[in-house]
Structure 1
C-alpha cells in the first residue's frame, strides 16, 4: 500500500507508523495539514495534493490510505476546508483513518459529550455557552468548582480548574472577548488516576492507569505515569459503546473513577487521534503495527467487495 500520514514532521507517532508500514513492505510518508490543497476543473476528476518541504507537489489521489495523526488548531475556514477535503478524499476511494465523520465528532468536545449523555452514558455535569454571564451562572450551578476546556484540543492543553469566583469571571470574560466557546465541567474529585482504554476495530488493544500526583490532569504529556491495567468487563463495554457512538474505529477512551462513587466510571473523552506512547511503554503492545495490519485488512475487504 501507499500510505500518507497526516501529522507533524518529527512526530514519534509518525515515525512509528512509517516504520511499521515499511516493515510490512508498504510505502509511507508524513504530510502536514497546512500543505493540503485541492484542484478543481470541470474537465477532469478533482485532484487532491500536498506540498513537501521542497514545495514539490504530491498527488494525494495516488495513496491507498491516509492516517490522521493530528488535528491542529485553525480558523473556522481552515477546519471546515480540512474536514471537507478529507471527506472528498474518502469519496474518491482513499481509506481515511479514522473516518472524517469520526474525527469531526471526536475533536468536538460538545458533540461527543452530548452524544454520550443522550445515550445515557455517565459524563460529568457539563455546560457549554458563549457569554460570560451564562458561564458564571453555570459555574455556581456546578458547585463553584469546574474544569474549563477548549472545545477543540488534546493532551491536556488549555485545560484549567477554577474554584475562585473572581478568577472565574475574569477567565470567562477573556474567553468571551476572544469569541471562544466556554465549555465547563463540574470538577470530579478522583484518586489521582484515570483509565485510558485503547480501542481498535471493536477490540481492546490495551489499557493503562495514568497517575499524576501533582496535577489533576493525568495525561502522559503532562508528566503523568502509566502502568498496565486490566479493565473490567463493565469498563470495556463502556469504552466500546463510547467509541461506537463517535463512529471511531481507533479510539482512546478516558474513564474517571470519582472518589465519592468508586464503582462509577465517568466518560471524560473519546479521542479519535489517540496517543499510545505511554500505553506502549507500559504494555509492550506494538500499536503502530496493529494499525497497519488493520488497514491491510480494511483495504483487502474493500477490494473484495468491489470485485465483479
Structure 2
C-alpha cells in the first residue's frame, strides 16, 4: 500500500489489508526505485511490479506538483501488471484543482461560480462582480492556503500578494451562502457507500477539522446522491469522496477527492472505511 508512515488513514488501511492477505508493506514513494530499462520497480527489496495489486492511500504528505511525478512512477508500475487502486492516470487527471474543475464543468456538474486567470486586474474585476470570494491554491487540501477576499480597498494588493506568494494561476471561487455545513458523499467501486456532513463550529468560514469543524452522519436527498454519482463517474476512481454543498439554488460540487473520506466515515457514520476498501480490493483481485 502507498501511504504515509504513521498516518491515521494509512495505518488503518494497511492493517485491514494485512488482516485479509497476511502481507504488509507500506510504500514510501520517496524511496521507490524504478528501473525503466528492466521494467521493474522496487521499494527496499520488494519488487512492486511482481505484486498482485497496490492500493494508493496517500502519495505524499502535502499536495504539490511533485506528486505528479510519483504518480507517473505508479502509472509505470501499473503498466507492468499489478492492479493499482485507484488508477494513477485517474488521479493524475484530478490532482490539480483546475484540472478537476475543468473536468467537472465539462461534464455538466454545477459548481460555485469560478474564475481562473493570471491577471491580477482581471481577478479583482471578478471579485467586484461576484462579491466575497475565496482564492484557492491549485494544489491543496483541507482549505490549506485559501484566502477570503471581498470588494473594497486593498483588494488588488491582496490578490497580487497571493499571486506573488506562489500562485501564478489565480483560482477564484465565489463564496456561497451555506447552511453551516457541507457534505462528503463517498463511493466505493462507483457505488454509493455513505454520506457525512462536515459541520462548522461557527468561528470559521470553512468546515474542516483544522478549523474546528466536526463530522456527523447525514442522509442526503436523491438529488444530491445522483449529482455526486455523476461527478465521481467522470474520474474512474475505486474509492472517492465528492464534496457537495447545499445552496438556495440547489446542490453544487466543490471537488472530487481520490484520497479523502476515511475519518469522516469513521467519526460521522461509525463506518470503518478501511475494512470496506480492503474487502473490495480483495474481491476485485480474486475475480
Q: What TM-score results when the alignment is normalised by the length of structure 1? A: 0.85
Q: Following TM superposition, by how much is the alpha carbon of 1:221 offset from its aligned partner in structure 2, in angstroms? A: 4.0
Q: Following TM superposition, by how much is the alpha carbon of 1:295 offset from its aligned partner in structure 2, in angstroms? A: 0.8
Residues 20-55 of structure 1 show CA distances to partners (whole Å, capped at 9, x for unaligned) of 1122233122222222221133xxx312123xxxxx
Residues 58-110 of structure 1 show CA distances to partners (whole Å, capped at 9, x for unaligned) of 4222322222222434775x344223211111111112111112211222221
Q: Distance in 2 between matches of 1:225 and 1:266?
A: 21
Q: Distance in 2 between matches of 1:35 and 1:74?
A: 18
Asked whether 1:267 is paired with 2:266, we answer: no
Q: Distance in 1 between matches of 2:239 and 2:133?
A: 29
4+ residue segments displaced more than 6 Å: none
User: Hey, what does 1:92 align to over in structure 2?
Assistant: 80
User: Hey, what does 2:116 align to over in structure 1?
Assistant: 128
User: Hey, what does 1:203 align to over in structure 2?
Assistant: 191
Asked whether 1:281 is paired with 2:270, we answer: no
Q: Distance in 2 between matches of 1:196 and 1:290?
A: 17
SS at match of 2:24: strand
> CA 1:156 to 1:71, structure 2 compared with 1: closer, same or farther past 3 Å?
farther
Q: 1:149 aligns with which of 136, 148, 156?
A: 136
Q: Following TM superposition, by how much is the alpha carbon of 1:194 offset from its aligned partner in structure 2, in angstroms? A: 0.8
Q: CA RMSD in A?
A: 2.0
Q: Following TM superposition, by how much is the alpha carbon of 1:198 offset from its aligned partner in structure 2, in angstroms? A: 0.7
Q: Following TM superposition, by how much is the alpha carbon of 1:268 offset from its aligned partner in structure 2, in angstroms? A: 0.7
User: Hey, what does 2:6 align to over in structure 1?
Assistant: 10
Residues 225-271 of structure 1 show CA distances to partners (whole Å, capped at 9, x for unaligned) of 1111112211111111100012222111111112x43xx10101100
Q: 2:223 aligns with which of 234, 259, 270?
A: 234
Q: 1:138 aligns with which of 103, 118, 126?
A: 126
Alignment of 1:1-308 (within 5 A): 5-41=1-37, 45-50=38-43, 56-72=44-60, 73=62, 76=65, 78-143=66-131, 145-177=132-164, 178=166, 180-212=168-200, 213-258=202-247, 260-261=248-249, 264-301=250-287
Structure 2: segments with no counterpart, 5+ residues: none
Contact 2:184 2:261 in 1 (8 A): no
Q: What TM-score results when the alignment is normalised by the length of structure 2? A: 0.91
Q: Following TM superposition, by how much is the alpha carbon of 1:123 offset from its aligned partner in structure 2, in angstroms? A: 0.5
Contact 2:190 2:237 in 1 (8 A): no
